[in-house]
Amino acid sequence: MKSIFFEFNPNRCLGCRACQIACTVNHDLHSGIYLRKVTQVQYKSKDQIANYYLSLSCNHCANPECFRLCPERAYRKRRDGIVIQDDKKCKGCGVCTRACPFEAPVVNPKTGKTIKCDLCFDKLEEGDNPFCVASCPVEALTVYKRTTYEENPDLVKTLPGFPRIQITRPSIRYYPVKMGVQIGINLDYPKEVKEDE
Amino acid sequence: MKKLTYHNVCTRDCPASCRLLTEVQGGRVVDVKGDPLDTFTRGYICAKGYSYPERIYSPDRILYPLKQRKKGSGNWERISWEQALDEIANKFITISEGYSNLLPVCLDRYLGNLGILNLNVAAFFLSMAPITLMVGSPCVSAGTDGMTLNYGFCKKPVPEDMLNSKLIIIWGGNSAWTLPQQMHYIYEARKNGAKIVVIDPILTATAARSDIYVNIRPGTDGLLALGMAKILMEENFLDHEFMSGYTHGWDKYKDYLTTIDLEQISTQTNVPSAEIHKLACLYGNTKPATIWIGLGLQRSPSGGQNVRAIDSLAALTGNIGKQGGNVHHISYEVFMNAGELARLQLPWGLASMPEDLKNSFRTIATGRFAELNNLTPPIELLWIAGRNPVAQDQDSDTVKNTLKNIPMVVVADQFLTSSAQYADYFLPVSSSFEHEDAVISYWHYGVGLNEKAIEPLGESKSDFEIMKCLAKAIKKIQPGFTDFPIESDPRQCLHQELEPILKQQEISSIDKLRRQGARIQLSAVPWQDYSFPTPSGKYEFYSLKAMEHGLEPLPIPAQVTAKPASYPFRLMVVRNYATLNSQFYNLPNIRGLESNSTLIIHPETAAQKSLEHGDKVKVYNQLGEIEMHISVSLCLPHNIVVAYMGIPDNHGEVINTLFGLSETDLGEVVSGCKGLTFNDCFVNLVRME
């Protein structure tokens, strides 16, 4: 059985947030609640400043913590790997929002219930891309189906700035970050800083 | 309920001018997405575009005419259109009777809305001549002047011509955030083997994705270009055939280049001389190579000369007139292909008027609000449309005080902007989804027709409709006062405007244009005929016209400003991906992306001032102070702090409070007045408890 994975290329992502807003408005979350977040990652690396963006939503993990911990058993992992949540069962207790290393489930203030990325499975089933993927002007974010043992050797499972992956095994793969030559930058400052926006 | 799809086009002041598909259900916009038939955008739109439904139905939108009891008090009272228009109409009549002309009436309009029909605001006021007009461009005038002096006219290649380039130098622009669709073409060019170089004081999102990033001291771009020109000369990367046949003043330029000292340029620009050498050789060796001059670098004191110096690199290497070569900047050429209204978008619209009419106007340079206070006859009525001068012009306090002093200020807008807070009357304007219009892109020349997708919300009206209603109200009192066509139908007016384009494109109907869009056919590669409309008929390294404007005839930038000791940080305002100037900040979806008012500082600055991410600081200089939260970033030099253009602080004060009135070296050649600098402001900051 093939599973659905996100593939993200930080060497293409522009940090334009089209994916984040396209997702939000198409889920009718007009109040600054996001199911996908773009964050900036930057750190000093040898004679360069690494600077790139991550676009993150639910990673439809192989071992989802939300699924494991939800007291209402509202989460389900489909055969195609998509983790979905049953709105009717959710009581808004927030256990999943605290347990998920990616902060993927969020409480929707409109309903008091938790909501999270369902990979727009209804769109996928019709052969369309999820809103986030469809909105990216440079194909930095894509989805593809494959069996877990068909790993693409060019891709990696994590990047600096991405939360821990050992426990939940997220279904996302990354291109390794490539930074160009940087001329005239000042690396002479006291401490290393890595921060998200 | 059935969904209907309408064709719209984004009317924000942005090069992309995206064509949109709007879904309407039960008279309400439910979805806005890109039109895949739009050849430039390929259907991709930005975060702002997706936010339109939120913007249309924002609870902040003002849907009724308002009158403020005391300017700046917030003491607004809802009034009827009839009352608003009658009172304003009466002011016109009183002014005309008291002064026997309308010079005390002043119009300040700009590009808050790019719709062609929106230019009816200008047409209305021009029909009342003589009046006082604020002219010029606060945005791009130094750059267009630089291009115009060198080439004789400001032209550019089509955006897709970058696909043919083997080297793309993005100089002072952040395409990833300000024109993300262009990055598709840039990445495609890279796939074909092109190298991407970004020259910028900040490691922007675009710079971070480049092959070579050059960190340059702000405002010294022209100096770097001169250094590169010297190396191109010394290493003999010159296109002698082009130089001897089609350029003017090379002997003088050559003499000058021999005198400059690369080490000094390296110190001034902050770029090591060996790297300047490598960069020049890369540009000299790679054919075809193109340079994209962004708007940022021309907003500095030597912005015009900087652009002229960068241009000279293309002339030296013969990249002019070649596919994949040239310089991309901006062009108004496209507006010359539409009807009369669209031509008002031309900065030289005023210059092309009949002499007697032109001379009867009193013109004030854009942003020079202090000058409005000392005029005879004085300004009695100021009309602001498609502009937010308090947030966008320099020295916001002076702008506010001027607005307070003027007896009647009318602001037509969708939101109570920082400028509207100092208005006497607020007139609610409909969003472009609520009226017909059309936009011509100044980047890709696309023509997008904008349908009325929904009825205007509340009592809002299009700017065109407002002008017609005002003309009616004035005529009711004094029938012969204005000949503005009060019966003019928007659709007819649009047809008239687009007629020349339909003909040029052989498009059979306006309906077809709406569905398919069109692109005005300008040469994809400019200057192939090497025919330059300069005084010498050649590309000018040496421009006597520049001398007439008080500049060195060669592209030599003025000395760089030294920073004042008490204000050690250069404050730069840059564009954000989710806002456009002062627009979009009020939407929760956009606000949630960034903390509401962030000043970005280097970790060294943070350490020096004992600050941590999220702390609150007072940013101040001799002009004032504002309060912001900080974020810490490695992507800028330690002596620069960065804020987003048009950003309000924690109390709604605007960042431009800290910018003194400061002019660029050029601007008046094309736009009638010098441009404004936004990269030359110095501040200090202190932690707030």
CATH class belonging to B141-331+528-548: alpha beta
Q: Do A140 and A14 meet the contact criterion of CB atoms below 8 Å apart?
A: yes
A3-174: CATH number: 3.30.70.20
- pLDDT (average), residues B349-365: 74
Question: For B222-245, how does the pLDDT look when each residue is reduced to its tens digit (9 = 90+)?
Answer: 999 999 999 999 999 999 999 999
Question: For B545-599, how does the pLDDT look when each residue is reduced to its tens digit (9 = 90+)?
Answer: 999 999 999 999 987 767 788 999 999 999 999 999 999 999 998 888 865 569 9
CATH architecture of B569-687: Beta Barrel (2.40)
Beta bridge partners of A51: A42
Strand residues in B65-223 grouped as ranges (E): 66-68, 76-78, 105-109, 132-135, 167-171, 195-200, 212-215
Q: What is the pLDDT of residue A148?
A: 65
A31–B588 C-beta distance less than 8 A: yes
Q: Could you say which DSSP state residue B97 is in?
A: H
- pLDDT (average), residues B313-342: 92
Give domain limits for chain A.
3-174
Is residue B128's pLDDT more than 90?
Answer: no
- The C-alpha of B578 sits at a distance from chain A's nearest C-alpha, in angstroms, of 8
Chain A from 61 to 120: CB within 8 A of any B CB? none
B635–A53 C-beta distance less than 8 A: no
- B72 sits in the region (left: phi over 0; alpha: psi -120 to 50; else beta) called left
Q: What's the CA gap between A27 and A120, in Å, rounded? A: 10
- B566 sits in the region (left: phi over 0; alpha: psi -120 to 50; else beta) called alpha
- pLDDT (average), residues B362-389: 96
What burial letters (b/e) apply to B22-33, b meaning 16+ CB within 10 Å?
Answer: bbbeeeebebbb
A193–B634 C-beta distance less than 8 A: yes
Is residue A191's pLDDT more than 50?
Answer: no
Is residue B352 very low, low, confident or very high in pLDDT (cuts 50, 70, 90)? low
Beta bridge partners of B574: B644
Question: For A47-78, how does the pLDDT look when each residue is reduced to its tens digit (9 = 90+)?
Answer: 899 999 999 999 999 999 999 999 999 999 99
The β-bridge relationship of strands A3-8 and A141-146 is antiparallel
Is residue A197's pLDDT more than 80?
Answer: no
Single out the residue of B107, B108, B109, B118 nearest to residue B11, CA to CA.
Answer: B118
Containing B359, the helix (H) or strand (E) segment is: helix B355-360
Mean pLDDT of chain B: 94
Chain B from 21 to 50: CB within 8 A of any A CB? 31, 41-42, 44-47, 50
Question: For B442-491, how does the pLDDT look when each residue is reduced to its tens digit (9 = 90+)?
Answer: 999 999 999 999 999 999 999 999 999 999 999 999 999 999 999 999 99
The β-bridge relationship of strands B247-248 and B539-540 is parallel
Question: For A117-171, how does the pLDDT look when each residue is reduced to its tens digit (9 = 90+)?
Answer: 999 999 999 999 999 999 999 999 999 888 766 788 999 999 999 988 888 999 9
Listed in sequence order, the residues at least 6 apart from B550 whose beta carbon sits closer than 8 Å to its beta carbon are none
Chain A from 10 to 39: CB within 8 A of any B CB? 11-12, 14-18, 20-22, 24-26, 30-34
Is residue B350 very low, low, confident or very high in pLDDT (cuts 50, 70, 90)? low
Beta bridge partners of B290: B168
**Least-confidence region, from B49-58, B292-301, B328-337:** B328-337
Is residue B351 very low, low, confident or very high in pLDDT (cuts 50, 70, 90)? low
User: Which of A26, A32, A184 lies nearest to residue B591, judging by beta carbons?
Assistant: A32
Mean pLDDT of chain A: 91
Listed in sequence order, the residues at least 6 apart from B157 whose beta carbon sits closer than 8 Å to its beta carbon are B290, B326, B328, B524, B525, B526
**Least-confidence region, from A182-191, B26-35, B57-66, B105-114:** A182-191
Q: Which residues of A touch B199 (CB under 8 A)?
A: none
The percentage of chain B sitting over the pLDDT mark of 90, rounded to a whole number, equals 87
Chain A from 155 to 194: CB within 8 A of any B CB? 179-186, 189-191, 193
Is the CB of residue A137 less than 8 Å away from at least one CB of chain B? yes
Q: What is the pLDDT of residue B349?
A: 58
Q: Do B331 and B102 meet the contact criterion of CB atoms below 8 Å apart?
A: no
Single out the residue of B532, B526, B667 nearest to residue B151, CA to CA.
Answer: B532
Is residue A192's pLDDT more than 90?
Answer: no
All CATH 3.40.50.740 domain ranges of chain B, comma separated, are 66-136+347-432+455-503
| Strand, coil or helix: B364 | strand
User: Which of B270, B589, B633 lies nearest to residue A32, judging by beta carbons?
Assistant: B589
- pLDDT (average), residues B50-65: 97
Question: For B191-203, how does the pLDDT look when each residue is reduced to its tens digit (9 = 90+)?
Answer: 999 999 999 999 9
On the question of a cis peptide bond just before residue B130, with omega within 30 degrees of 0, the verdict is: yes
Is the CB of residue A138 less than 8 Å away from at least one CB of chain B? yes
Is the CB of residue B282 less than 8 Å away from at least one CB of chain A? no
- Looking at 3.40.50.720, 3.40.50.1100, 3.40.50.740, 3.30.870.10, the CATH number of the domain B66-136+347-432+455-503 comes to 3.40.50.740
The ipTM of this complex is: 0.95
Q: Do A159 and A40 meet the contact criterion of CB atoms below 8 Å apart?
A: no
Is residue B354 very low, low, confident or very high in pLDDT (cuts 50, 70, 90)? low
Q: What is the pLDDT of residue B594?
A: 64
> DSSP assignment of B371-398, as one string?
HHTT-SSPP-EEEEES--HHHHSS-HHH
The percentage of chain B sitting over the pLDDT mark of 70, rounded to a whole number, equals 98
Q: What is the pLDDT of residue B348?
A: 61
The β-bridge relationship of strands B105-109 and B381-385 is parallel
Q: What's the CA gap between B438 and B115, in Å, rounded? A: 5
B577–A16 C-beta distance less than 8 A: yes
Strand residues in B136-278 grouped as ranges (E): 167-171, 195-200, 212-215, 247-248
